[in-house]
Amino acid sequence: MSQTQALKVRVALFCILVGIVLAMVAVVTDFWAVLSPHMEHNNATCEAAHFGLWRICTTRVPVDDIEDKNCGAITLPGGNKNCSYFRHFNPGESSEIFEFTTQKEYSISAAAIAIFSLGFIIVGTICALLSFRKKRDYLLRPASMFYAFAGLCIFVSVEVMRQSVKRMIDSEDTVWIEYYYSWSFACACAAFVLLFLGGLALLLFSLPRMPQNPWESCMDAEPEH
């Protein structure tokens, strides 16, 4: 592998590393979406919620304590915050509101696909490390494919979560009518872009040099180390 090609591979791996960090942050945090109810004059409390792949957190604050009358801010001062895992992940926890307002299959699917993504990341990282340790550059090609598959899985998980939020808001059983996607959702989207494009770039950069002249064959290219 030439120095120019090695430099391109390092840049692609750096982008992939950033994507891995963002994917891990998105999976373990609970700020994929923030939900808030409609503010009415007769409401005594404001109940906002945010959730991720594994649990939902609610915050209840008296309306009189809210200065700007914005119920969507989850970090409201003086609120009573309560976080619980979804019932299908932990039967001992209670999350009836979420279970009634959206199908649990959405949450299970998004979490399962995210786990598949982390599995692809682990296998791809093992291949990448082995390629550097033993100077086997050909292992970068399966590593790149694993990273690209991980990015696609994250994209599917993001889309499933988006459909889950939409179904929850459209449900007649929920009190939440306003929502926005928060920083965990943004981390997942950025992870998809970096892992998918970084994986494709790594695949292209790790391929052997193609013949540059009509009379040159692939067998004449420089051997890989």
Closest to 103 in 3D by CA, of 170, 43, 148, 202: 170
Q: What is the pLDDT of residue 50?
A: 78
pLDDT digit string (tens) for 99-156?
544 556 777 888 889 999 999 999 999 999 988 876 778 888 999 999 999 999 999 9
Q: What is the pLDDT of residue 21?
A: 96
- Statement: the pTM of the whole predicted model exceeds 0.85: no
Q: pLDDT below 70 — which residues of the chain?
A: 1, 38-46, 61-81, 85-104, 134, 171-177, 209-225
In angstroms, the Cα distances linking 165 to 24, 101, 160, 168 are: 21, 10, 9, 5
Q: What is the pLDDT of residue 138?
A: 84
Q: What is the pLDDT of residue 95?
A: 47
* Residue pair 15/69 in contact by the 8 Å Cβ criterion: no
Phi/psi class of residue 224: alpha, beta or left (left: φ > 0; alpha: ψ in -120 to 50)?
A: beta
In angstroms, the Cα distances linking 130 to 27, 45, 149, 180 are: 26, 56, 19, 42
d(CA 86, CA 88): 6
Q: What is the pLDDT of residue 217?
A: 54
Distance of CA 14 to the CA centre of its chain: 18
Q: What is the pLDDT of residue 186?
A: 93
**Largest separation between any pair of C-alpha atoms in the chain:** 83
